[in-house]
Structure 1
Amino acid sequence: MNRVEHLCKQYTNYIAKIATNSFDDERLVEDVIQITYLKIAENIDKIEEVDNNHKKFYINSIVKNVARDLYKINKKEEDKIEKLKKALLNQDVAIKNNYLEEEVFLRMYLEEVLECLEEDEKKIILLKQIHGYKNKEIASMLGIKEKNVSKKLNKIKIKLKKEIMKNET
């Protein structure tokens, strides 16, 4: 067993305890432990120079520094995620507002175009196009023949086309 393995094995429980006290997330605890082992390997000569009483203090410093650095990195990532969430939420709100503005404009435009129709014509076109009723159902609701519904729908469509063409110019 080499010097690094020996030292890591000797202080494994101590390192794990400090790491566990630093984070609740098991993955982060494992990261702290692994990075600490790497730091011990990098600093093995310095660690072996100090007496046994101070080795524990030295290792404690390494673990706490690693935990602090990992916390900062993790916190920055969480902040980035929060900023992205807020940006997406703001974008979603902007899209919804734009959609609502378009919907209001469309409703106003439709109301304006529908002004060219008589009340019974408005009922027929709305029942057909907005509510999706069949001609037979519309005829039954309005107490007229199905043929009349078809004829009226054709006349209504012609009127609406003329009104739309008139508004576009």
Structure 2
Amino acid sequence: MNPHKHSHPHHHGHPDGEHGPKRRGRRWLVGAALGLAAGAMSLAGASFAGEGRGMHGHRGHFAAMDPADAAKHIDRMVEHLLSDGTAEQKARLSAIAKAAFADLQPMHREHKASRHKAHALLSAPTIDRVALEQLRVDEVQRLDHVSKRILEAVADAADVLTPEQRVRFAAHMKKRMQ
């Protein structure tokens, strides 16, 4: 008999003994929020990197939009994705998205400048590996900041939505990512 095995089943539940539907519901909400975050980060990452297609299938770079155009685009996206939402929900979601957009704009410009710098470094007669490594480190830090900001916005948005709306949104994002 193995001395490390126990003859009784382990209970890996919540410390306060919470089991059943309440715990499964919390797991579902966390899973939905992570799904929303992954979808949002994928879309934003594609836009941030200057790749991919816009929200409505056309070639577009949301991160490069003029703030006024972006605000209109955000309002249209919220209306499209939350057609059954209340006016308050729509206003809160638009405000969350617009604040995130404003916060991410400088990073988009910095990323664009980094791409130009990388091109110049790689086109030089001598390759400056130290400068390239610093550029890589800066880009990783920038991407980390972007992903944190997007996750914050997605979590804030998830707080505004009902569980049913989050499920629909997650399904929409999954479909868009395929």
TM-based fold match above 0.5? no
With the shorter chain as reference, the TM-score category is under 0.3
Normalising by structure 1, report the TM-score: 0.27
Higher helix proportion: 1
Normalising by structure 2, report the TM-score: 0.26
Q: Which has the higher contact order (CA 8 A, sep 6+)?
A: 2
Q: Which structure has the larger Rg over C-alpha atoms?
A: 1
